Amino acid sequence: MTPTEERPQGRKRHLDWLIFGLCAGVFFSLVFLFPNQGTVSARAAWQYLLEMVQIMPAVLVLMGLFSVWISKEVVVRYLGQGSGIGGIVVAILFGTLPTGPLYVAFPVARALLDKGASVRNVVAFLSAWACIKIPQELVEIKFLGAEFTALRLGLTVVFVALMGWTIERVLERTERRTGNDRKGKRA
Amino acid sequence: MSTTAWIVNVLALFGLVLSLIEDRRKTVRALAAGGRAALQIVPAVGTVILAIGLLLGFVPSDAIAQFLGTKHGFAGTFLIALLGAVLYMPALAAFPLAGSLLKSGASVTSVAAFITTLTMVGTVTLPLEVKVFGKKFTFLRNGLSFGIALLIAAIMGWVLS
């Protein structure tokens, strides 16, 4: 992992702990003030805590392994060469592999565009990165069921492919009208 | 432990052993990366667990079912999709929350809309995305993603109910 992946987290991490502390304060005051509903709350929270403890360590290990074995450099190398028909499929597959939040994917996707990957594939890649992470999907199956997860992912893949194509067409049309660089100006 | 929990743990163990055999230094780095991710995710997951507790204890499931159930249809779904677009929450923490909403009577449509906008539309990261890709690309991608999320949610509600 590169340092860029951790930098934006620094300040946010304190905020997350602060919010957690406040939430814990509210939670325990409410549980003690209203023991009736409080018992239900405490029991529900405890049950969800147990369920999370059973899977989180394993999910985090998987995320760590993915981040080390499938580096961003590997993704760019394979996708940057601009593939033909199966391009979108490959882009989606590759988007599911690396881990990390979406903003980590922005520079990767920019590098892909600059290396000549099509807008269509880059949109597919970004969307897959955003919502089809493999270790993460195991958690979705756990809490929302295999049927829900499979249907949501299937529909997402179809619509993301359509969206990639649409965005590419729109950007191409503007480019023809204004004569701008195809990928827009670099900031 | 549930079946899914078993599968996840077996997968992780299998991957770990394979990785150790292949390259020990890389495996140590992987575990360190996992540890760093844990530090980032623990407060969010903790907050969500407490929120789920409060939700299930203090908010009557009738209220959840009424606001996010099938009755109110579009308005409830649209609002929760908007919430998903604006909130910045790791998906890992959002799944248990979504699961508890579903159990309390929220419709499949609402829950699917929430998860999909949460992961695909990034309001907080909008400025960064504009910087990297330009305004046009960013607004197209986020706007279309929001629309797509509503469509996916509608189809899911239709298929799974």
Q: What ipTM does the predicted assembly reach?
A: 0.84
- Cβ–Cβ < 8 Å for B23, B16: no
Could B39 and A69 be called an inter-chain contact, meaning their C-beta atoms sit closer than 8 Å?
no
CA atoms within 13 A on the CB side of A98: 27
**pLDDT score, position A180:** 53
Q: Is B113 left (phi over 0), alpha (psi -120 to 50) or beta?
A: alpha
- A8, A103 Cβ separation under 8 angstroms: yes
Amino acid sitting at position A186: R
Token duo for residue B80 = 């929760």
Q: Which of A40, A54, A187 sits opposite B132 (nearest CB)?
A: A187
| Assigned domain for A21 exists | no
Domain range for residue A103? 70-185
**Look-up of token digits 């409410």:** A30
Inform me whether the pLDDT recorded for A5 exceeds 50. no
Rounded Cα–Cα distance for residues A1 and B88 (Å):
22
Q: How far apart are CA A4 and CA B50, in angstroms?
A: 31
pLDDT at B48 over 70: yes
Answer yes or no: is A161 within a domain.
yes
Do residues A171 and A182 touch, judged by C-beta distance below 8 A? Answer: yes
| Structure letter (DSSP) for residue B47 | H
Chain B: nearest CA to A91, how far in angstroms?
16
Spatial separation of the C-alpha atoms in residues A6 and A177, rounded to whole Å: 40
Tokens linked to A53: 């403890």
Task: Judge whether A33 lies within some domain.
Answer: no
Q: How far apart are CA B125 and CA B85, in angstroms?
A: 11
A38-94 confidence digits (pLDDT tens): 998 999 999 989 988 998 899 889 888 888 887 777 777 777 555 555 677 778 877
Residue B157 to residue A99: CA distance in whole angstroms: 29
Q: Which of A100, A21, A153, A48 is nearest to B98 (CA)?
A: A48
Residue A146 lies in a domain: yes
Q: Please, which residues 13-72 of chain A have a Cβ atom closer than 8 Å to chain B? A: 13, 16-17, 19-20, 23-24, 26-27, 30-31, 34, 37-42, 44-46, 48-49, 51-52, 54-65, 67-69
Instruction: Check: CB of residue A149 under 8 Å from CB of residue B108.
Output: no
Residue with tokens 């490959």: A90
- State how many domains chain A has: 1
Q: How high is the pLDDT of residue A89?
A: 76
Per-residue pLDDT, A182: 47
- What is the average pLDDT across A9-34? 86
Assigned domain for A60 exists: no
If residue B73 lies in a helix (H) or strand (E), which one and from where to where?
Answer: none
Give pLDDT, residue A83. Answer: 53
What does pLDDT average to over chain A? Answer: 81
pTM of the model: 0.81
Is residue A28 assigned to a domain?
no
B52:A171 CB<8 A: no
Band (A1; pLDDT cuts 50, 70, 90): very low
Most confident of A95-109, A160-174, B79-93, B138-152: B138-152
Residues of chain B numbered 57-86 and touching chain A (CB < 8 Å): 57-58
Q: Is residue A99 part of a domain?
A: yes
A156 chain-B contacts, CB cut-off 8 A:
116, 120, 148, 152
Instruction: Give contacts of A 65-104 with B, CB under 8 A.
Output: 65, 67-69, 99, 101-103
Q: Judge whether A116 lies within some domain.
A: yes
Whether residue A98 is predicted with pLDDT greater than 80 in this model: the reply is: no
Contact (CB<8Å) B152/A101: no
